């Protein structure tokens, strides 16, 4: 094992202890059982549904743990692999074979799950891992056939006698980060020269867009913890704090409640920074008269929340801030009223939710030069959330029951140092929608009331000292 990985594994318990020590006295939500998994039958049904759509074997690889060598890296599974297996350890692979394979001469089972052999040396650093030789490995993984990863090449060569095509994750020109798909596509080519690879991501992505009841439950837990964090931030924001202090409190609430990580780098921007869509340097002091935009979400058992609130640093919006805020809120309410099966997140088409938000923003208020405000709505209306914060699948697919998306209009006017985004997480139902973030106030009056009560409590505490 490489030194950087050893170091990372060795320091992890220290980092966890540090989090625990800083939180024990905090009156936070009841911690959830971290890292829940759906029943094995759910993952099995997904695999059956996927392979039934395809005419050739499916071969997917989990992450190896070598994708990131940073000392702060903690392993999280490749999301498509996790979606089909619920397995969150390094070095696994999945082979699915269509039901007609036996007629083509395939003598093996229709599903094989591959795991690395046990390594006592690695386990000294990483703790126990599942291995194909474990007596209860079928029960733990939910697969009837679990074999050593080293058997995979021979199975692939055997299948290549009958199949000239295979479905896997293929690389794309716009791939960023570690080239997982490219690396494993090269491995397949080497193991089965001449086999034609097709990309299975569109089929898996389409499935991932419709959430199972178990996924909705996990997403709800991520969202609830993120709502708690947003409420705590609303109560805390005041001039004289740094952006990073607000983010730190929110991250603490996620982690203490059982989130394994943040869904994305926390965005807390005060004043001009509120107009920078993904501002994450978090280095500025909050000043009286600023608005503070907080786009922060936790990831619970693999599933991501994504929530934004914008609040006045002093506890009261100025007249202009209030005007802009209420235009964004009006746009969001107009979008919510149209959120139902058949609506689309994209910019075009008769059912476009983006167009509803844009038209609302562009027909209310004006900038200092009298121009309409549509030009200051500089991003999309929303996206799917799930195992990734911008979840897989066709972003323009009409909404269907079971989809879970964000609704996040915004106006960003740098010359006035006002950026406002209001972002909520919405489950599409057969007749409309359910606002999963409903517990988190959105109106000016509610936000000011919460901030004002928090200020009174702070003042009382400091006068008692
Ligand atoms: N909330 C971060 C993003 O959607 O990119």
Compute the distance between CA of residue 302 and CA of residue 130 in angstroms, rounded to an integer: 19
User: What confidence score (pLDDT) does residue 31 get?
Assistant: 57
Does any domain span residue 402? yes
Radius of gyration of the chain (CA): 25
Tokens of 25: 């006295």
Q: Are residues 306 and 450 in the same domain?
A: yes
Which residue, of 184, 208, 232, is where some domain finishes?
A: 208
- Report CA(307)–ligand 1 centroid distance (Å): 8
Pocket test of ligand 1: the residue of 295, 304, 309, 419 to mutate, having most ligand atoms within 8 Å of its CB, is: 295
Which residue, of 192, 208, 224, is where some domain finishes?
A: 208
Compute the distance between CA of residue 277 and CA of residue 275 in angstroms, rounded to an integer: 6
Does any domain span residue 398? yes
Query: Dihedral of the CA atoms 440, 445, 450, 454 (nearest 10)?
Result: 160
Q: Are residues 430 and 380 in the same domain?
A: yes
Cβ-based burial of 429 (10 A; exposed 0-12, middle 13-18, buried ≥19): middle
- Report CA(356)–ligand 1 centroid distance (Å): 20
Q: Are residues 150 and 238 in the same domain?
A: no
The response to whether residue 380 sits with its C-beta less than 6 Å from ligand 1 reads: no
- Report the Cα–Cα distance between both ends of the chain, in Å, rounded: 53
The CATH number covering residue 268 comes to 3.90.230.10
The response to whether residue 306 sits with its C-beta less than 6 Å from ligand 1 reads: yes
- Report CA(439)–ligand 1 centroid distance (Å): 20
Atom of ligand 1 nearest to the CA of 295: 1
Pocket test of ligand 1: the residue of 226, 262, 277, 278 to mutate, having most ligand atoms within 8 Å of its CB, is: 278
Beta strands 418-421; 410-413: pairing state: antiparallel
- HEC per residue, the chain: CCHHHHHHHHHHHHHHHHHHHHHCCCCCCCCCCCCCCCCHHHHHHHHHHHHHHCCCCEEEECCCCCCCCCCCCCCCCCHHHHHHHCCCCCCCEEEECCHHHHHHCCCCCCEEEEECCCCHHHHHHHCCCCCCCCCCHHHHHCCCCEEEHHHHHHHHHHHCCCCCEEEECCCCCCCCCCCHHHHHHHHHHHHCCCCEEEECHHHHHHHHCCCCHHHHHHHHHHHHHHHHHHHHHHHHCCCCCEHHHHHHHHHHHHHHHCCCEECCCCEEEEHHHHHCCCCCCCCCECCCCCEEEEECCEEECCEECCCEEEEECCCCCCHHHHHHHHHHHHHHHHHHHCCCCCCECCCCCCCEHHHHHHHHHHCCCCCCCCCCCHHHCCCCCCCECCCCCCCCCCCCCCCCCCCEEEECCEEEEHHHCEEEECEEEEEECCCCEEECCCCCCCCHHHHHHHHHHHHHHHHHHHHHC
Atom of ligand 1 nearest to the CA of 389: 4
Which residue, of 208, 235, 264, is where some domain finishes?
A: 208
Beta strands 433-435; 298-300: pairing state: unpaired
Could you list the residue range(s) of the whole structural domain that residue 195 is in? Answer: 40-208
Q: Which has the closest alpha carbon to 315: 292, 296, 297, 332?
A: 292
Compute the distance between CA of residue 373 and CA of residue 419 in angstroms, rounded to an integer: 12
Tell me the pLDDT of the chain (465 aa) as tens digits: 233 333 333 333 333 333 333 333 343 455 566 689 999 999 999 999 999 999 899 999 999 999 998 988 999 999 999 999 999 999 999 999 998 888 998 999 999 999 999 999 999 998 999 999 999 999 999 999 999 999 999 999 999 999 999 999 998 777 777 889 999 999 999 999 999 999 999 999 999 999 999 999 999 999 999 999 999 999 999 999 999 999 999 999 999 999 999 999 999 999 999 999 999 999 999 999 999 999 999 999 999 999 999 999 999 999 999 999 999 999 999 999 999 999 999 999 999 999 999 999 999 999 999 999 999 999 999 999 999 999 999 999 999 999 999 999 999 999 999 999 999 999 999 999 999 999 999 999 999 999 999 999 999 998 887
- Report CA(379)–ligand 1 centroid distance (Å): 10
- Report CA(287)–ligand 1 centroid distance (Å): 25
- Report CA(306)–ligand 1 centroid distance (Å): 7
Q: Are residues 122 and 242 in the same domain?
A: no
The response to whether residue 264 sits with its C-beta less than 6 Å from ligand 1 reads: yes
Atom of ligand 1 nearest to the CA of 264: 2
Q: Are residues 223 and 80 in the same domain?
A: no
124-146 burial, b for 16+ CB within 10 Å, e for fewer? eebeebbbbebeebeeebbbebb
Pocket test of ligand 1: the residue of 266, 274, 306 to mutate, having most ligand atoms within 8 Å of its CB, is: 306
Atom of ligand 1 nearest to the CA of 390: 4
Q: Are residues 118 and 236 in the same domain?
A: no
Query: Dihedral of the CA atoms 233, 237, 243, 249 (nearest 10)?
Result: -30
pLDDT in tens, 304-318: 999 999 999 999 999
What pTM was estimated for this model as a whole?
0.91
Number of domains in the chain: 2
Q: Are residues 68 and 149 in the same domain?
A: yes
- Report CA(160)–ligand 1 centroid distance (Å): 42
Atom of ligand 1 nearest to the CA of 423: 1
């Amino acid at each position: 094992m490489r030194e950087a990985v050893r170091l990372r594994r060795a320091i992890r318990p220290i980092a966890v202890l540090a989090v625990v020590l800083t939180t024990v006295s905090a009156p936070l939500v009841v911690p959830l059982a971290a890292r829940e998994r759906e029943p094995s039958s759910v993952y099995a049904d997904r695999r059956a549904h996927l392979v039934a759509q395809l005419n050739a074997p499916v071969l997917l690889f989990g992450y190896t743990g070598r994708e990131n060598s940073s000392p702060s890296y903690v392993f999280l599974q490749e999301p498509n692999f996790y979606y089909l297996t619920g397995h969150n350890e390094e070095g696994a692979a999945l082979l699915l074979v269509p039901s007609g394979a036996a007629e083509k001469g395939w003598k093996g089972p229709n599903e094989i799950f591959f795991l690395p052999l046990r390594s006592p040396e690695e386990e000294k650093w990483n703790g126990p891992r599942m291995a194909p030789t474990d007596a209860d490995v079928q029960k733990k993984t939910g697969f009837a056939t679990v074999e050593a990863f080293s058997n995979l090449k021979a199975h692939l060569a055997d299948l290549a006698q009958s199949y000239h095509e295979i479905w896997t994750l293929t690389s794309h020109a716009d791939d960023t980060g570690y080239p997982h798909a490219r690396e494993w596509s090269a491995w397949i080519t080497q193991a089965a020269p001449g086999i034609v690879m097709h990309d299975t991501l569109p089929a898996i992505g389409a499935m991932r867009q419709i959430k199972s009841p178990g996924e909705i439950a996990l997403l709800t837990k991520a969202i609830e913890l993120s709502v708690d964090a947003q409420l705590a931030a609303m109560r805390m924001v005041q001039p004289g704090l740094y952006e990073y202090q607000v983010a730190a409190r929110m991250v603490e609430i996620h982690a203490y409640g059982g989130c394994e990580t943040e869904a994305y780098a926390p965005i807390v921007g005060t004043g001009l920074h509120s107009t920078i869509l993904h501002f994450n340097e978090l280095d500025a002091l909050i000043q009286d008269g600023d608005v503070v935009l907080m786009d922060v979400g936790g990831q619970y058992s693999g599933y991501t929340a994504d929530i934004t609130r914008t609040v006045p640093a002093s506890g009261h919006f100025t007249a202009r801030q209030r005007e802009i805020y209420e235009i964004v809120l009006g746009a969001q309410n107009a979008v919510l009223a149209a959120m139902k099966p058949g609506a689309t997140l994209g910019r075009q088409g008769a059912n476009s939710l983006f167009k509803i938000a844009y038209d609302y923003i562009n027909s209310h208020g004006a900038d200092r030069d009298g121009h309409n405000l549509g030009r200051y709505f500089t991003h999309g209306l929303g996206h799917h959330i799930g195992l990734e914060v911008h979840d897989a699948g066709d972003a323009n697919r009409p909404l269907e029951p079971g989809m879970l998306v964000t609704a996040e209009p915004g106006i960003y006017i740098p010359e006035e140092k006002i950026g406002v985004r209001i972002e909520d997480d919405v489950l599409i139902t057969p007749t409309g929608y359910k606002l999963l973030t409903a517990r988190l106030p959105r109106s000016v009056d509610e936000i000011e009331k919460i901030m004002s009560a928090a200020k009174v409590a702070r003042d009382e505490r400091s006068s008692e000292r």
